[in-house]
Chain A
Amino acid sequence: MINTIKNQLASHSILGPFGALVFAILFFSTQSPIFLTPHNLSLILQQVMVLGVLAIGQTLIILTAGIDLSCGMIMVIGSIVMAKLVAVSGWPVWMAVSCGIVISSFIAMGNGLLVTKIKLPPFIVTLGMSNIAFAMNQLYSEAQTVTNLPSNLTFLGERINFFDGYINYGVFLFLFLFLLMGFALKYTAPGRHIYAIGNNIEAVRLAGINTTRLLVGVYTVAGFFYGVAGWLAISRSGVGDPQAGQTENLDSITAVVLGGVSLFGGRGSLFGTFIGILIIGCMRNGLILMGVPSVMQILITGVLVILAVTIDSSRRQS
C-alpha cells in the first residue's frame, strides 16, 4: 500500500512543482489586482521565453546526468553572430540566423566531445567553455553592443493582439519547441535512450546503443536550442548584447530543478521544466508587482532551488 503511494509519487514528480505554481499564482493574485489579468499573464510568457528555450537544452543535458554551465554564454555567441552578420556585414536574415544557430550547436558539440571522448566531468567542461565563450563574445563584438538591427531580424519580438493581452511570435516558437521536444523525449527511441543514459549509462552501452554518439548528439541539440534562444534574446531586446547571458546560465538550471527534473539524471520531464519556467516567471513578475526589491527575488529563488534539490535527493534515497 505504502509502496503504491510511493510509486505514484515517484512517477508523478510533477505534482510538487505544479502545486508550487498554483500556490504562487493564487498568492500573487491576492497581492496584486493586476497579476491575473490577461495582459500581465502574456507579459510573463514574453519574459520567460528566452530562458524557456535555453532550459529545453539544459533539460536534455541534465536528463543524461550532465549539466551545462555554458548555455547562457553559448546563447550570446549565437545572438552576437546573428546581429553582427546582419547589421555589420549585411547578410540576409535567414543566413545570419542559421549561421548563429550552427555556431552555437558546434560549440555545444565541443562540450559533448570533451565529455565523451576525453571523459571529463560535464561540470568542469562547461565551466571552462563558459569562460571561453564569454571571451569569444567580447573579442568578436569588441565588447560593443550591436545596435541598428533591422526589424526583419527581430520580428519574433513583435507583439500581436492575443485575447485581451499582447503576445509575440517568439512565445509561439517557445511553446512549439517545448511541445516538439517533449514529444520526442516521450515517444521516440532516442528520447527514451536519453533517460536510460541518465539512469545507467553502462546498461545503455551493454544494450548495444552507441552512447558516445547519443551524448554528443544531446549536447549538439542543446546548442541548437541555445542558438534559437539567442535569436529570441535579440528579438526581445532589439540589440545584440555581449554582456547578456550571465544570469541565464544558472537560471536555466534553476528552472529545470524547480520543475522536478533530477540533477542525478534520468528522471523528470520537459513538462516539469515548463512548470519550473512558469514558477520563475510568476515569481519575478509577482514580486515586482508587490514592490519587493529584486535582491529578495534572488534570495527566494535560492531557497526554492535548495528545497527542490532536497526533495529530489531524499526521493532518490528512499
Chain B
Amino acid sequence: MQAENSSAQRFVIQAKGLVKRYGGLVALDGADFELRPKEILAVIGDNGAGKSTLIKSLSGAIIPDEGSIEVDGQLVHLKSPADARDAGVETVYQDLAVASAMNIAENIFLGREILLPGLRGKFLRMIDSKKMYEQAEGFMERLKIGIKSIRQAVETLSGGQRQGVAVARGAAFAKHVVILDEPTAALGVKEGNMVLDLIRKVRSEGLAVVIISHNMPHVFEIADRIHIQRLGKRVALVNPKVISTSDAVAVMTGAKLASDLPKEALAY
C-alpha cells in the first residue's frame, strides 16, 4: 500500500529465476516475470519457449524446481491450482475447463458452491441455489456477456460465449490476477473481438490480466506490455505501441536480440 504512488515498482506478480526441468529437458531456464497492477500483459513465444510452463508455475499447476514467486508482495509457494486461487490468481485454461451439460451458474460456481446457512449447508452440503443464480446473473451482467439465461447448459452456447463464461468465472473470484491461456484461439473474428472486449472489462474491474496468445494482431490490439519468452527465459519486455510486429516476432524467434531494439521499445 505504501508504494501506491510508485506503481511502476509494485508488482502483482513477480517471479524470479524460475527453473523447471523435465529429465534432461530444461523448460524454464531462470525465467523472470513481472506483472503490474491493472495491466494487460501478453506472453508470447515460439513453441517450446516455456510459456505454458511459466504460466502453469504461476497458476499452481506445476511446481518449479527453483526460483521464487511473489503475489502482491507476498512470497508464495503454489503447490496446486487451489493454492494459486487462494493467493488471488485465477486461470482460464485453453481447453475450456467447463462441464458442458451443466448450466452457466453451476459452471461458474463449480467447486465453490454457495452452501445454505446453518446445518443444512455445513453437514448436508446443500447448495443455496437462489443466491448462486443471483450472483452468477450479476457476474454475467457486469461483464455484459449476452446470454439468455443463467440456467442454459454451457453446451448450448457458442464458442465465444463459452469462453465468456470461463473468463467471467475467473474474474468473479480473482483477487489480483486472471490468467488466460489462448482465449481467442478457435474463435471467429466477431467472437474473438467479443472476448477482447471482455478482457478489457475485466481489467477495468481493477484486475491485472495475463494472456498467452499466438494471435499477434490480438496481442498488439489488447496488450499494455508484451513479455517475450525464448528458450526458457524472458528475453524482452516490450511496448506494443512502439515495437513493430515483425520486430517482436524476430526477437521471439531469435533473429534479433533485445539489445538490437531501440531503447523506447523496451518496457521494463
Contacts and interface: CB of A to CB of B under 8 A. Distances in A.
A7 B153 contact: yes
B232 to A, nearest CB: 25
A204 B152 contact: no
Nearest to B106: A192
A200 B102 CA distance: 10
A192 B102 CA distance: 9
B124 A188 contact: yes
A290 B80 CA distance: 62
Interface string A222-234: 0000000000000
A16 interface: no
A237 interface: no
Most interface-central of A11, A187, A193, A206 (chain B CB within 10 A)? A206
A190 B80 contact: no
A209 B85 CA distance: 13
A192 B112 CA distance: 11
A231 to B, nearest CB: 25
A204 B126 CA distance: 18
Given A192-B102, A208-B80, A203 B110 contact: yes
Contacts of B186: none
Interface residues of B, number: 28
Contact of A11 (B82, B85, B129, B153): B153
Contact of B100 (A3, A6, A200): A200
A236 interface: no
B63 to A, nearest CB: 16
A188 B127 contact: yes
A10 to B, nearest CB: 7
Contacts of B110: 192-193, 196, 203-204, 207, 209
B113 interface: yes
A42 to B, nearest CB: 32
A188 B127 CA distance: 5
Contacts of B95: 202
B99 A204 contact: yes
A225 B85 CA distance: 37
A203 B99 contact: yes
A267 interface: yes
B115 interface: yes
B93 interface: yes
Given A192-B113, A207-B111, A199 B99 contact: yes
Contact of A200 (B81, B91, B99, B153): B99
15 contacts: A6-B156, A10-B156, A189-B113, A189-B125, A189-B126, A193-B110, A195-B99, A196-B102, A199-B99, A200-B97, A200-B99, A200-B100, A204-B99, A207-B110, A208-B80
B81 A206 contact: yes
Contacts of B153: 7, 10-11
A196 B105 CA distance: 13
A266 interface: yes
Contacts of B99: 195-196, 199-200, 203-204, 266
A123 B80 CA distance: 30
Contact of A7 (B80, B112, B156): B156
A209 B110 CA distance: 9
B129 to A, nearest CB: 8
Nearest to B99: A199
B125 A188 contact: yes
The 8 closest A-B CB pairs, nearest first, are A207-B111, A199-B99, A203-B97, A208-B82, A196-B99, A189-B113, A207-B110, A189-B125
Interface string A192-220: 11011001101110111100000000000
Given A203-B99, A208-B81, 12 more contacts: A6-B156, A7-B152, A10-B153, A192-B127, A199-B100, A199-B101, A202-B95, A206-B61, A206-B91, A207-B112, A208-B82, A209-B110
Nearest to B59: A206
Contacts of B152: 7
